[in-house]
Amino acid sequence: MLTAEWTSAYADSVETSAEIAEAAGSTDPDVGLRAVAALRMLAERLEILQVDNARRLGWSWQDIAVRLGVTKQTVHRKHGKRAGRLG
């Protein structure tokens, strides 16, 4: 089972996100699945960064939710404790 630490280390060891994306299409399931996990972690980090940016700029939870394709309640539940203190 992959741990978050291992996935993070894998993502950090690959030089570019393009390389991770290329590895995700590998015919070797070990390489492909590790890359998928690294992409998932990258997407999570980017979401946190952008939600925090939006909250600092005064965006509402509803505005953020629309862009992410989720409900306001979902985005607030996921990011509210951290991002609610920004600004």
pLDDT in tens, the chain (87 residues): 455 665 566 556 555 878 888 999 999 999 999 999 999 999 999 999 999 999 999 999 999 999 999 999 999 999 999 886 665
pLDDT of residue 21: 85
pLDDT of residue 30: 95
| The pair of three-digit structure tokens given for residue 44, joined into one six-digit string | 């999570």
pLDDT of residue 1: 46
Q: How many domains does the chain have?
A: 1
Range of the domain at 19: 4-83
| CA 44 to each of CA 29, 51, 62, 81, 82: distance values in angstroms, whole numbers, following the listed order | 22, 11, 19, 16, 14
